[in-house]
Amino acid sequence: MANKAVLLFSYGTLQNSTVQLATFGRELFGYKDELLNYRLAMLEIQDASVVKLSGESHHPIAVPSQSDTILGTVFEITQEELAQSDKYEVDEYQRVLGKMASGTPAWVYVEFLEVPISE
């Protein structure tokens, strides 16, 4: 079941080819979509290895909103790659199943709000 494809929505550094190569061992290809009911804020990253890899000390983070949307890219990845992306993201993010404008749900990393990750 490790090869089952899953969808991952990225609005930030996971769209960066350098981050993709280091995290997944390959460049990802996807399609544009919008995450519903979130807006972007900026988060200062404390993990030096993540800052070094991304080249950025502040990363965007999706925070809940009543009516905003976030533009980004949906990538098709494997379950194993999803686990690798979990390791890349810092503790201030949690992975949730997001509602997309296209109608197809996708995993997305959003602000951690003391809510367990639903699988």
What percentage of the chain's residues is helix, strand, coil (to nearest 5)?
A: 25, 45, 30
Cβ atoms within 10 Å, residue 62: 24
Token readout for 114 is 């003391």
Instruction: Give pLDDT, residue 65.
Output: 94
Instruction: Give pLDDT, residue 116.
Output: 52
Phi, psi of 47 (to 5 degrees): -80, 110
Choose among 16, 93, 95: nearest CA to 53. 16
Instruction: Give pLDDT, residue 1.
Output: 45
CA gap 96, 117 in Å, rounded: 6
pLDDT digits (tens, 9 = 90+) for 11-44: 999 999 999 999 999 999 999 999 999 999 999 9
Tell me the CATH number for domain 5-111: 3.10.490.10
Low-confidence ranges of the chain (pLDDT < 50): 1-2, 119
